[in-house]
Structure 1
Amino acid sequence: MKLRAGVVGLGKQAVDDHIPGLTGAEGAELVAVCDDNAELVREHQYRLRVVGYTDFRDMFRHERLDLVIVTVPHHIGQEVIATAAEHSVHVLKEKPFATNMREARELTKQCEDAGIQLMVTLQRRFNPIYTSFMQLADQIGTPFLADGQYTLCVDDPSDGWRGQSATAGGGCVIDMGYHLVDMILWYFGLPDRVLADMSVQARPDRTYDAEDTALIHFGYDSGLYGSLLLSRYLGPKTEQIRLVGSRGVVHLERGRIRRLTNDGEAIESLSREQAWPSAATCQIDYFCRVIEGLRPNVSGPHANLVHMSFIEACYESAKTHAYVNPEEIQ
């Protein structure tokens, strides 16, 4: 029998990823949607033939749900998760896990006390392009340099709730950058030191305090070091990680991964086109197996406390202009 799922928040992420993912999932079925925009609710309620709500509290009271996918503005997430926990409903949460470390610890305790599973949506972990990275990395000798880039162009970084740290928790680091941070932690573990600089100067004619651009340097005592460039004002849209070793390079992009010689000659390549909804479906089915006790939770609260320690280290470093050890923040 399929698990009964609800979706709270009908923005682009829900419409493009999570709802199509549920449509293709074997383990769950969509039975209810919720958004504070009544017109959006009516549209999706009719199109999807599900029950619609404009208040998530009503949805939890009236629907018998097994899990909920939460895709709301960052500052609302904790309240939705707390309400889900009160009703013993498992949560698949769109990144980020929380807006700061204090909130992350509170959420971790709430989930533990309620005995529910929470998993943060990190679709790249369910895409073979990304899962192939370490297999190729084993073939390039001793790695010593990693650099990543995730950029896109938002015309007005001040627009909406994402422009203010009070509602977003921060800008490109905690929001879009969460995926790149996850990959660094997934592939290499938590760095021993982080140094970050950030900008809110892309649009001097606008007022906002959530960073539009960040440059993050990180290093490990093993000798590996690297940098991340994150920006929501630098086009075209780019997502890549490059790992340089003593006997070659691994270059990962959104739809392709290649192993190269150190002078840039391609040795092998793997590509996957137009497969993003498939990754969302895989993630949902995996979460259903987590709920049933058949799989480990690869992106649960405790794992994401590590993500938050890296992110908090970035913000602390940007304030102090000094290296910060993320381990000291956990």
Structure 2
Amino acid sequence: MRDANEQPLRIGIVGLGYIGTTVGGQFHRHSDATVRALCDLDSDRLLETGAEFDVPADRRYTEYATMLEDATLDAVLVGTPHTLHYEQVVAALERECHVYCDKPLATDLEHARDLTERAERSQQTLMVGYQRHLQTAFRTARERFAETEPEWITASITQGWIDDSMDTWRLDPELSGGGFLYDTGSHVLDGVLWTTGLEPESVTASMDFHDDDERVDSRTHLDVRFENGASGTFSLHGDAPAVREHIHCWDDDGAVYIEGTQWGPRDVVQIDSDAGEYEPYIDFRTEQSRADAFLESVRSGAEPPATARDALRVTALTEAAYEASRTGDRVEIDPDG
């Protein structure tokens, strides 16, 4: 990937949970990158991940600002709780570092707008962790709607998210920004918006909550109207026994179904107007990893697969959904303000 005279990209990781160690591991194993510094509040995680990624003790930090100041970095992987993303991404960009940020980019609409503006005027790459943009099933479906727009969409996902998240920051709204909708649900919203290219116009919502303050949703149902007149329903169930996902997008010529279980690759089926089914061949071996895609964008200067503007659309819809649930009203969606 890189010119013989180029050095591997020097990566700093803040947050050593699932994303920090999974995507961080991709960078550690990549010939075009080196994990140079780590940051986390948990000393045990720092010790364990430092040993795994060959990061010496003097480049393991508990303060993010200190890591940015002391370590010589080209890029930062932000894998921290959701509400921390905004300030950490801003700090990295102001240091002229490229950024890979886990989803959601921000849990505040003004923050999402600001990061989008910063990214679009910056020379640095800002890629968001919506990995469905790299998955062949979703890319195949996106090609199907390159010339036409779907008119009716149903999307659902189930997961034992509440049980999985017990005793973690994900059930603390000060860190998570919300509940299942801002976590796994964010991938579903993004998958639909990116695959179809549709712009959401308004939303109504009903939610069940895990907490007494009604900030951490466990189940959500959304009715979304799109600018082209299409309608979509989203059913997100975070208190179910297993992971299953179904996205069905219909137009006058038929439909595309994207379906799967657990966290493996998704299947895609194309349906024609006579109800005939065609399942295109998908070679999962050709899919890029998140590290591959990020490094390619940095080296080439090309737009990353999942941009800040993609993430802004998701945050705008998500924030409108929470407002709609609180008020009982249909709420307009305005990403650009």
Q: TM-score range by the shorter chain?
A: 0.7 to 0.9
Distance 1:138 1:188 in 2: 8
Residue 3 and residue 316 in structure 1: after superposition, are their counterparts in 2 closer, same or farther (change >3 A)? same
Among 90, 96, 102, the alignment partner of 1:94 is 102
Offset, 1:108: 4.1
Which amino acid in structure 1 is aligned with residue 202 of structure 2?
R
Percent of aligned positions with the same letter in both sequences?
A: 25
Residue 24 and residue 133 in structure 1: after superposition, are their counterparts in 2 closer, same or farther (change >3 A)? farther
Which amino acid in structure 2 is aligned with residue 239 of structure 1?
E
Structure 1 equivalent of residue 244 of structure 2: 238
Aligned: 1:291 with 2:298: yes
Cα displacement string for residues 5-27 of structure 1 (whole angstroms, at most 9, x for unaligned residues): 121111122223x0232145353
Among 102, 119, 124, the alignment partner of 2:132 is 124
Offset, 1:49: 0.9
Structure 1 equivalent of residue 271 of structure 2: 260
Cα displacement string for residues 310-330 of structure 1 (whole angstroms, at most 9, x for unaligned residues): 112111211221222213773
Deviates more, 1:310-319 or 1:150-159: 150-159
Between the two proteins, the alignment pairs up a number of residues equal to 321
Among 189, 198, 203, the alignment partner of 1:194 is 203
Which amino acid in structure 2 is aligned with residue 197 of structure 1?
S
Distance 1:70 1:212 in 2: 25
Distance 1:111 1:221 in 2: 26
Gaps of 5+ in 2: 1-5, 260-264
Structure 2 equivalent of residue 21 of structure 1: 26
Deviates more, 1:49-58 or 1:233-242: 49-58
Deviates more, 1:215-224 or 1:36-45: 215-224
Tell me how large the CA RMSD over aligned residues is. Answer: 2.9
Aligned: 1:54 with 2:62: yes
Q: 2:102, 2:128 within 8 Å by CA — same for their partners in 1?
A: yes
The residue correspondences of 1:156-305 to structure 2 (distance < 5 A) are 156=163, 159-186=167-194, 187-201=196-210, 209-253=215-259, 254-261=265-272, 265-271=276-282, 279=288, 281=289, 283-305=290-312
Gaps of 5+ in 1: none
Offset, 1:174: 1.7
Distance 1:159 1:231 in 2: 19
Which amino acid in structure 1 is aligned with residue 243 of structure 2?
K
Match of 2:128, SS state, is strand
Structure 2 equivalent of residue 313 of structure 1: 320
Offset, 1:236: 1.4
Offset, 1:137: 4.9
For normalisation by structure 1, the TM-score amounts to 0.85
Offset, 1:131: 0.4
Q: 1:26, 1:285 within 8 Å by CA — same for their partners in 2?
A: no
Q: 2:149, 2:198 within 8 Å by CA — same for their partners in 1?
A: no
Match of 1:50, SS state, is coil
Q: 2:119, 2:125 within 8 Å by CA — same for their partners in 1?
A: yes
For normalisation by structure 2, the TM-score amounts to 0.84
Q: 2:312, 2:335 within 8 Å by CA — same for their partners in 1?
A: no
Offset, 1:295: 0.9
Which amino acid in structure 2 is aligned with residue 175 of structure 1?
D
Offset, 1:260: 2.9
